[in-house]
Structure 1
Amino acid sequence: MTTTIGLIIIGDEILSGKRVDAHLPKVVQLLAARGLQLGWAEYIGDDPARITATLRRTFASGDIVFSTGGIGATPDDHTRQAAAAALGRPLVLHAQGAENIRQRVLQVAREAGQEVDLNAPDNLQRLKMAEFADGAELIPNPYNNVAGFALGSHYFVPGFPVMAWPMIEWVLDTHYAHLFNREARAERAVLVYEMAESLLTPLMVAIEAKWPAVKVFSLPSVGDATTRRHIELGVKGEPAAVQAAFDHLREGLDLLGAEYQAHL
């Protein structure tokens, strides 16, 4: 059975266009480097009810899920609370997570040559970032040591790429190395020029019927002043099956009299 990996990207700033999401392409890259593939992705605003409902559904799925954003301590951060609500668990202060935050506060104060009161309201507020659903485990944050958290096969990291990406890599390399197979997938494609997609559909259907381990993809382009109208037509999947399916694809294109060229 194929393991499904999902990605949830949380934040009004993404949906409003104030920031452009960089997590999706990066996670695809991190997974591909390990022979893995993203199965789905969702964008959600800072809506506690919607985040809770989404997490309740994804917890039930059994998928491996990475969630970025919303784990801070400001009023617009709801992910920690939503994860607890989705599982019906209380929020509790994680002892090591809280100690990490205190040590970070002390480090920043030392570097600035300042005295610090760990019981000051602002520092007590920072400890909210270590309040997770009961039973959560920490995800180390190499940037500032303020941890993310894991609940089952769900992994919650900050929205900042400089923190989130190494944390996601740590999860993959620590917990899922047994899934890595850098030779597990292959992809071959051609560019087919000036041909209607409908004429290629029977060939695509026939290939998927003959090679169930292969997916056929078709990406049309209308062209522009420098590029002719074309379709990127290809196959992806298990390497041995991909090669056989690709040979059949080219034979089918030859029979159709199509003009095409290899596409890397």
Structure 2
Amino acid sequence: MGFGAIIIGDEILSGRRQDKHLTKLIELFSERGLKLSWVRYVGDHPSLLTQTLRESFETGDIVFSFGGIGATPDDHTRQCAAAALDLPLVLHPQAEQIIRDKFGDEITDHRLQMGVYPQGSDIIPNPYNQIPGFSIRQHFFVPGFPVMAWPMVAWALDTHYRHLHHAEDYVERAVTVWEAYEGRLIDLMERICVDYPTVTLFSLPSFAEGDRKRSVELGVKGAKDEVAAAMSCLCKTLSERGYHWEDK
């Protein structure tokens, strides 16, 4: 089981709007010692969105979906989620009450449509304007507006997945290896992966430009004790091979 994200909207793919959700989602995850496994961008195309959600539901991952849950003609997420699960759309009674309380005598059928979800959904509270999002099968559907979406994601992480948080124990460490070629360090990377299978290794090369020297940023992330052991082995081997390195 991993964490994924689906970011929906033609306006993002066309460049009319810049996506801000991915950076914030990574921040929210990092604060809780979690990490994002994958992200997909999808336009407002019902058949493509339905197929994307069908594939996403099949993964068993915990997924956050941004956008398309309103009641305008270009909002398709609620309908596509239902189609992906072969479920009917129904007006959620708690969502209905929240929407009726908000709009009072100004309630309309179009506004009530914002409370229509795949059958069996739960609501996600919206602290900004009270119109809820919904969740089903470990998928959390929130609006595209950051001011609404981000508190709703934080609520879901803290309410449903607090037992997965490990911010205090999850760390990331890296060193910069100067004048190194990534290809000549592959055997060391493979050794770290075999000897310390619970950590995640990463390698980011930088090429010489002007006064900047060639280097490789080499590091691991994971549980604190395992990271410390893996980095000790990595740095010791780098020194034995004659590389100059320094902590990031």
Which TM-score band (shorter chain)? over 0.9
**Residue 7 of structure 2, aligned match among 6, 9, 13:** 9
AA aligned opposite 2:187: P
Shift in Å at residue 260 of structure 1? 1.7
Matched with 1:26 is: 24
Matched with 1:109 is: none
The reply on whether 1:191 has 2:176 as its aligned counterpart is yes
Say which SS state the counterpart of residue 248 (structure 1) adopts: helix
1: CA distance between counterparts of 2:156 and 2:208? 41
**Residue 132 of structure 1, aligned match among 112, 117, 125:** 117
Say which SS state the counterpart of residue 70 (structure 1) adopts: coil
Gaps in structure 1 of 5+ consecutive residues: 107-115
AA aligned opposite 1:173: D
AA aligned opposite 2:45: D
AA aligned opposite 1:177: R
Cα separation, partners in 2 of 1:243 and 1:53, compared to 1, 3 Å: same
Matched with 2:185 is: 200
Q: C-alpha deviations, 1:5-52, integer Å up to 9, x for none?
A: 111111111111111111112111111211211121111111111111
2: CA distance between counterparts of 1:215 and 1:157? 30
Cα separation, partners in 2 of 1:157 and 1:223, compared to 1, 3 Å: farther
Matched with 1:112 is: none
Q: Greater shift after overlay, 79-88 or 245-254?
A: 245-254
The reply on whether 1:170 has 2:155 as its aligned counterpart is yes
2: CA distance between counterparts of 1:12 and 1:227? 40
Matched with 1:113 is: none
The reply on whether 1:181 has 2:166 as its aligned counterpart is yes
Shift in Å at residue 183 of structure 1? 2.9
Normalised by the size of structure 1, how large is the TM-score?
0.88
Matched with 2:195 is: 210
Root-mean-square deviation (CA, aligned residues, Å) is 1.6
2: CA distance between counterparts of 1:234 and 1:199? 15
Shift in Å at residue 224 of structure 1? 4.2
1:56-135 to structure 2, matched below 5 A, reads 56-106=54-104, 117-118=106-107, 123-135=108-120
The reply on whether 1:44 has 2:29 as its aligned counterpart is no
Gaps in structure 2 of 5+ consecutive residues: none
Shift in Å at residue 101 of structure 1? 2.3
Shift in Å at residue 73 of structure 1? 0.9
- The structure having more radius of gyration, on CA atoms, is 1
